[in-house]
Amino acid sequence: MVGPLVRALWSTTRKSISASSSSSPSSYLKPFLHARAAGISRSFSVATATAASNSAAPGGALDPSRLRNVAVIAHVDHGKTTLMDRLLRQCGADIPHERALDSNQLEKERGITIASKITSISWKENELNMVDTPGHADFGGEVERVVGMVEGAILVVDAGEGPLAQTKFVLAKALRYGLRPILLLNKVDRPSVSEERCDEVESLVFDLFANLGASEEQLDFPVLYASAKEGWASSTFTKNPPDDTKNMSQLLDAIVKYVPPPTANLDEPFQMLVSMMAKDDYVGRILTGRITSGVVRINDRVHGLHSTDSGVVKIEDGKVVKLRKNRGMISYDVDCAGAGDIISMAGLKSPSIGHTVANVEVMTALPTVELDPPTISMTFGVNDSPLAGLDGSQLTGGKIGDRLLAEAETNLAINVIPGLAESYEVQGRGELQLGILLENMRRENFELSVSPPKVMYKFENGVKLEPIEEVTIEVNEEHVGLVMEALSHRRAEVTDMGPVPGNFGRSRMTLTCPSRLVIIFC
């Protein structure tokens, strides 16, 4: 742990840096046109493209120095998606409802982010590509494959709860990729949150950074205070800012100031690493990623590349038929895009996530994304019970296999291994991830049988290893003994325990426990 004196010195330095970033609240971007009806969505695209042309580089692509690529990361329910709503509204987007980026039906029902979302906003002649990421470790693959597209991250931490287990998980991914973080202490308007509590959380976050091996530049992070629900952010602690500063302008200014622009060269040949993939009934496979170098235009000849142990393999030759960008809550077509920008393209049928799309003269593949291995597996198969055929219409092993293989193609954190008798072993990060897949298949009218989850083991240097979970439990003080006794039978070990700030009579315990025994406990 870092000593109190060092933390105090760093805290003072960061506060002086944060205070210098505050700007006049009168410097706002003129809102871009709202796409309130389908009939004016084309005029919105034309208007935004015209406004962006002032910062365009030769050839029509955006000047990389005007770009900022940022991911929003946090523990579950610390306010990421609500914060994205307020940033979009600040820059003029028309938000149809709260948590607008959680468009999946299961995301709306469960109140969590399951898949990463990408959008862009304009702020003071800068283009900000924002990525909303899940906060649960089961969906860590969504975080891992998008952090390579950005140069900075907004770490959202609940000022009352402080950094929790998933905060550590997503922050470790961001620091490993060298991202420059901005700490945003959210929900400071709550009655239990004080300035002393914020200083304490800031010290805890600094310790977490240090324990995760952050560099000196990453340790020098700016700190802002916000209430995403109320729609404001401030560089200094306050619970009720003046009305003329009750907005997100200070956070947007901090993004422009502290997040470095992408290192990119528009004159080099076009290369892009595919980080996300979707399918469209009209244009086929849509590949999304950040352009590493060069400029891509409609009708350009490109090909897909894949790096293997034996060398680089060409997957497919093709032509760019469509380029699209997301702005606010709509998607619009563009004629070209340049290095540093995040773009979606169509025209190739075979490349997938982790593959490289490049000009035909380029035969070098970009480094692929490294994902953590799966820890849980379940067997999906045909329903052979006496009640088979009563709950769905997709019954055969072939249809079940096609659906699972399609899921594995768009979600690299899931592995599908065909088994015997029309069964498939599905490997994932956790029970929640596989449960979401199972629920999606059920709503798509699939009927199947599944086995209980089981943990996956691996061998290193002749030693059998198993996955270990970090368990966080918050209970009333009188129940601590009962909980510890129950977990001790699951070979759990206490690593930290203490009172919950702002909650009298509550205790929070952090333990480590083998995954196989956590499943039994649940």
- pLDDT tens for the 522 residues of the chain, in order: 444 444 544 444 444 444 444 333 333 333 333 333 333 333 333 333 333 433 444 445 678 888 999 999 888 778 788 888 888 888 777 676 666 666 677 777 777 777 788 888 888 888 999 888 887 777 777 788 788 888 999 999 988 888 887 888 888 888 888 888 999 999 998 888 888 989 999 999 999 999 888 888 899 899 999 998 888 999 899 888 888 888 889 999 999 999 999 888 888 999 999 988 888 878 888 999 999 999 999 999 999 998 887 888 888 888 999 999 888 778 888 898 988 899 999 988 888 888 899 998 888 888 887 777 888 999 998 888 887 777 778 888 889 999 999 888 888 888 899 888 888 999 988 888 888 899 989 988 998 999 888 888 888 888 998 888 888 888 898 888 888 888 888 888 888 888 877 677 888 888 888 888 877 544
Q: What pLDDT score does 206 carry?
A: 92
From 73, 7, 13, 9, select the one nearest 205 (Cα to Cα). 7
Q: Which two tokens stand for residue 98?
A: 């709260």
Q: Which two tokens stand for residue 321?
A: 């038929």
Query: Can you give the length of the chain in residues?
Result: 522
What does the alpha-carbon distance between residue 305 and residue 208 come to, in Å, rounded to a whole number? Answer: 38
What does the alpha-carbon distance between residue 95 and residue 111 come to, in Å, rounded to a whole number? Answer: 17
Q: What pLDDT score does 50 carry?
A: 36
Report how far Cα 69 is from the mean position of its chain's Cα atoms. 12
Contact 235, 255 (CB under 8 A): no
Q: Which two tokens stand for residue 55?
A: 């910062």
Taking every pair of C-alpha atoms in the chain, what is the biggest distance, in angstroms?
70
Instruction: Enter the pTM of the model.
Output: 0.79
Helices 165-176 and 195-211, axial angle in degrees (round to 10): 50
Contact 282, 291 (CB under 8 A): no
Helices 249-258 and 80-90, axial angle in degrees (round to 10): 100
Q: What pLDDT score does 58 carry?
A: 42
What does the alpha-carbon distance between residue 510 and residue 208 come to, in Å, rounded to a whole number? Answer: 15
Give the type of residue at 369.
V
Say whether 215 sits in a helix, a strand or coil.
coil
Q: What pLDDT score does 192 carry?
A: 83
Count CA atoms closer than 13 A to 19's CA, side-chain side.
Answer: 9
Pairing of strands 271-280, 284-293: antiparallel
From 45, 84, 478, 54, select the one nearest 251 (Cα to Cα). 84
Residues of the chain with CATH 3.40.50.300: 64-258
Pairing of strands 468-476, 506-514: antiparallel
Residues of the chain with CATH 3.30.70.870: 376-456
What's the burial of 49, exposed, middle or buried (CB within 10 Å: 0-12/13-18/19+)?
middle
Contact 176, 100 (CB under 8 A): no
Residues 224-256 as b or e (16 or more Cβ within 10 Å = b): bbbbbbebbbbbebeeebeeeebbbbbbbbbbb
Contact 515, 455 (CB under 8 A): yes
Q: Which two tokens stand for residue 193?
A: 């949150």
The highest-level CATH class for domain 463-517 is alpha beta
Residues of the chain with CATH 3.30.70.240: 463-517
The highest-level CATH class for domain 271-359 is mainly beta
Which residues, in sequence order, are CB contacts of 74 under 8 Å at separation 6+? 80, 135, 155, 156, 157, 166, 167, 170, 186
Q: What pLDDT score does 24 carry?
A: 37
Q: Which CATH superfamily is domain 64-258 in?
A: P-loop containing nucleotide triphosphate hydrolases (3.40.50.300)
The highest-level CATH class for domain 376-456 is alpha beta
Helices (H), 262-396: none
Which residues, in sequence order, are CB contacts of 361 under 8 Å at separation 6+? 269
Pairing of strands 458-460, 463-465: antiparallel
Residues of the chain with CATH 2.40.30.10: 271-359
